[in-house]
Amino acid sequence: MSQSDFLLLHELFDGFPSFNRREGLLIVVNESPARVNDILKEEAIERTWPTVAVNLELANALRDVRPTDRDKAADRFIQSKVRIIQNGPIVLVEIDLLFAPELYIDPIRLLTNASQLCPLAVAWPGSWDGQTLSYATPAHGHHRHWSRLSADIRNVR
């Protein structure tokens, strides 16, 4: 990351959550899952923000849940993590499992609901073109996209 990129990201986090709100959703986007996770983990350490690595814990939580109930179970899991930590912002990294089609999870709904409890900064592997947020690349089997989002979404290099 260049020095100017670092300053822009640092300024972004300095203002998050804005206006001392108790809720908010910041989605930080990069095509490389490892890169975006590392960026947010580093920022969380520097700011002493709690971090939740979603994949492994969510996989364990959903292991015995029927496929038709996984969306609700994932929502309860994320909300329980937010409630346990309570003081945000909370950083969510390693979120790829949220996009597995066989789990029937709506990641945007899940993150938006949880962000109403406390501010969330989410490491999003994908792309943002200013109007459409995508998970993964179009060639990826789990590629999905959303538009008309109410989150604060930022690309990082």
Domain map (residue ranges) of the chain: 22-155
Confidence of residue 4 (pLDDT cuts 50, 70, 90): very low
Query: Residue 128 and residue 125: Cα distance in Å, rounded?
Result: 10
Instruction: Using the predicted structure, report yes or no on whether residue 3 has a pLDDT greater than 80.
Output: no
Token pair belonging to 65: 């849940």
Q: Is 138 exposed, middle or buried (0-12, 13-18, 19+ CB in 10 A)?
A: exposed
Residues sharing a CB contact under 8 Å with residue 90, sequence separation 6 or more, in sequence order: 49, 50, 51, 52, 81, 82, 118, 119, 120, 121
Per-residue confidence (pLDDT) for residue 144, from 0 to 100: 87
For residue 89, the 8-state DSSP code is: -
Confidence of residue 19 (pLDDT cuts 50, 70, 90): very low
